[in-house]
Structures are given as C-alpha cells and as structure tokens.
Chains A and B, each alone.
Chain A
Amino acid sequence: MTVRVQCEDFDTAAELEKLTAGNPRIGAVVTFTGLVRDFAEDKAIQRMTLEHYPGMTEKQLSAIVAEAQQRWPLDGCLVIHRYGPLEPGDRIVLVIVASAHRQAAFEACEFLVDWLKTKAPFWKLEEQGGERRWVEAKASDDAAAARWQR
C-alpha cells in the first residue's frame, strides 16, 4: 500500500505493472486517473496550481488507504497525488486498487477518490486570462463522500 505526493508526472502503466507483479492472487485492477480540465463553469482554464499541506497530506491519504483496506479485501493499493503548476490535460491524481475480484476493486477505488477529494488537504488555484480564482468545494463532493459514512 503506497501513498506518494509529488510534483512530477507519473506513468500509469508502469505503476500498474509494479503493483501487480508477482501476485497471481490479483484478479481485478481498477485505476482512476484525474486530469486537469480546460474549463470551469464555462470559462476557459489556462493553468492550475495545486497547493497542499506537506505532512498532513501524506498522513490523511495513508489514513484513507488504511480505511479502504479495512473495508475491502485488497491485494494492492496505490495513491499518487501531484501538486504544483499544472496545465489542461495534465494528470493530477492516480488511484490503483487491486483485489481478487472486481467488486471490491471497483468499490474501493470509488471510495478512495470520494474520500481523498474531501479529506486530503489540497487546494486548486485556477488561472483564466489574467484572473486567478481559488476553487470552491462542491456540495456534490461532500454528498459523494457521505455515501461511504458508517
């Protein structure tokens, strides 16, 4: 189970290969990749900067991964989240979940994305033309995370 917070891009295929290598128990791998969109509320986005809270980010992501492991029988789990300046089309986040069967992998992946969006301390700053705007949290993201509340 691995959590990485980094400025650099990542290679999804290479990470998937590493996660599953040598474990023939794994029958299902689900990956989620989040990308920078080039629009927000009908306005064009030229650039985005992701700020984070070093230390707490890793701590919260690790706690979320531990929670997923408690809930589903996972054979592998990786979360990579980038920070710093990004442009439309750039990868922001990668979540890979491996399990013996697909249901656990699908559910755990969705859970991890829903929870990291509402719990991991990252903040998006969007730039449109000369304007900069801090992205506001969405009620729909809170609702998605709340589905998994026990």
Chain B
Amino acid sequence: MNMRVLYFAWLRERVGLAEETVSPPPEVRTVADLITWLRSRGEVYEAALADPSIVRVAVNQDYARPDHPVQAGDEIAIFPPVTGG
C-alpha cells in the first residue's frame, strides 16, 4: 500500500527529504502506527520523530490525531507546530 509522505520545516531538514512514497506493511492502520513504523526505518527518522509533542500530522491536508486511519493513496504530511501570521 503506497502513501505519499511530505515533510516540512525542520522535519524536512532532519529527514533530508521533502517528500517520499512509502509502502508500510498492512498492520499500519493509523497515524500513530505510521509514525512508529517510520521511526523504525533508521536513525534519522528515529531522531526526527522522537518527540510526538512537537510533531503534527495532516492526512489529505486536514489535521489528524494519532488514531486517525491511514490508507493507500493518502497524502500524509508531517511537520512541526505552525508559526505563521
């Protein structure tokens, strides 16, 4: 199951990618599952995503809580708390 994952701001810099397509295993069903799976992919991900209090997630451009479902074809964005205005 393919998903697009986008990274912004310092998360983009720490991961070293603005965007990637990932294929997590079928047991990845929620935002929290996806973050846990991403963290298992290497030290860079583990370090960038270690503190959930400073990581926000949007699924298909709407804010999503950890229990929000994820599925094939979703656009999932991972970013720090926003600082516009």
Please give the residue numbers on chain A whose beta carbons come within 8 Å of chain B beta carbons, in ascending order. Answer: 34, 50-53, 55-56, 59-60, 81, 92-93, 113, 116-125, 134-137, 141
Q: Which residues of B contact A117 (CB under 8 A)?
A: 82-85
Residue from B6, B58, B61, B83 within 8 A of A137 (CB atoms) = B83
In whole Å, how far is B41's beta carbon from the nearest beta carbon of chain A?
22
Q: Which residues of B contact A124 (CB under 8 A)?
A: 83-84
Q: How far is the CA of A132 from the CA of B21 in the complex (A)?
A: 29
* Chain B residues numbered 61-81 whose CB sits less than 8 Å from any CB in chain A: 61-63, 77, 79-81
B9 engages A116 (CB within 8 Å): no
Q: Does B37 contact A (CB under 8 A)?
A: no
In the complex, residue of chain B having the shortest beta-carbon distance to the beta carbon of A118: B82
Query: What is the size category of the interface that chain B forms with chain A?
Result: 10 to 19
0/1 string, B1-14, CB within 8 A of A gives 1: 00000101110000
Q: How far is the CA of A119 from the CA of B81 in the complex (A)?
A: 9
User: Given A55-B61, A122-B85, does the pair A137, B80 have CB atoms closer than 8 Å?
Assistant: yes
Chain A binding site: helix, strand, loop or mixed by DSSP? Answer: mixed
Q: Which residues of A contact B84 (CB under 8 A)?
A: 50, 52, 81, 92-93, 116-117, 120-124
Q: Which residues of A contact B6 (CB under 8 A)?
A: 53
A137 engages B82 (CB within 8 Å): yes
Residue from A56, A92, A116, A136 within 8 A of B77 (CB atoms) = A56
B85 engages A125 (CB within 8 Å): no
In the complex, residue of chain B having the shortest beta-carbon distance to the beta carbon of A59: B61
In whole Å, how far is B28's beta carbon from the nearest beta carbon of chain A?
22
Q: Which residues of A contact B80 (CB under 8 A)?
A: 123, 134, 137
